[in-house]
């Protein structure tokens, strides 16, 4: 079964550093998403991306965050200057069609900001 792949599985960084989280969505999917889960809290929607532009973003997704599809396979989330509160599990998801009922999630990247 096709799957969404995220790398790395764990990332440790120093506060203020830039970090890029990588995702390879399922190959024929067109819609891409990032979610995050701070330890002990709910999984939260960050951003959706389609046709090389952001479709929707949450209030969490401020100017420190950006997303990009640099080539035909990768989908990245960049945090420009990490803060301690950015420590979380970040999940990438993709879908073939517009619709939450068809999301496939990756296994996540655990980001630790020290």
- For another protein, give the closer residue by CB, 73 or 100: 100
Residue 4's CB: how many other CB atoms inside 10 A? 23
- For another protein, give the closer residue by CB, 80 or 96: 96
- For another protein, give the closer residue by CB, 35 or 65: 35
> Which are the contacts of 98, defined by CB distance < 8 A and separation ≥ 6?
31, 50
Q: Measuring CA to CA, how many Å separate 3 from each of 16, 21, 29?
A: 32, 17, 11
Q: Cis bond leading into 86, ω under 30°? A: no
What is the nearest approach in angstroms of another protein to the Cβ of residue 34?
11
- For another protein, give the closer residue by CB, 15 or 54: 54
Residues that bind another protein (CB under 8 A): 4, 6, 31, 33, 35, 41-45, 48, 55-56, 91, 93, 95, 97-101, 103, 105-108
What is the nearest approach in angstroms of another protein to the Cβ of residue 16?
29
What is the nearest approach in angstroms of another protein to the Cβ of residue 64?
21
Q: Cis bond leading into 13, ω under 30°? A: no
């Amino acid at each position: 079964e096709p799957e969404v792949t995220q790398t790395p599985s764990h990332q440790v960084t120093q506060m203020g550093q830039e970090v890029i989280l990588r995702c390879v969505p399922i190959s024929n999917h067109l819609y891409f998403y990032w979610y995050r889960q701070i330890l002990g809290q709910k999984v939260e929607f960050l951003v959706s991306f389609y046709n090389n532009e952001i479709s929707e973003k949450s209030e969490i997704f401020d100017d420190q965050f950006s997303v990009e599809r640099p080539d035909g396979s990768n989908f990245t989330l960049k945090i420009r200057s990490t803060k301690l509160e950015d420590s979380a599990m970040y999940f990438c998801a993709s879908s073939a069609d517009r619709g939450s009922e068809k999301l496939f999630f990756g296994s996540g990247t655990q980001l630790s900001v020290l």
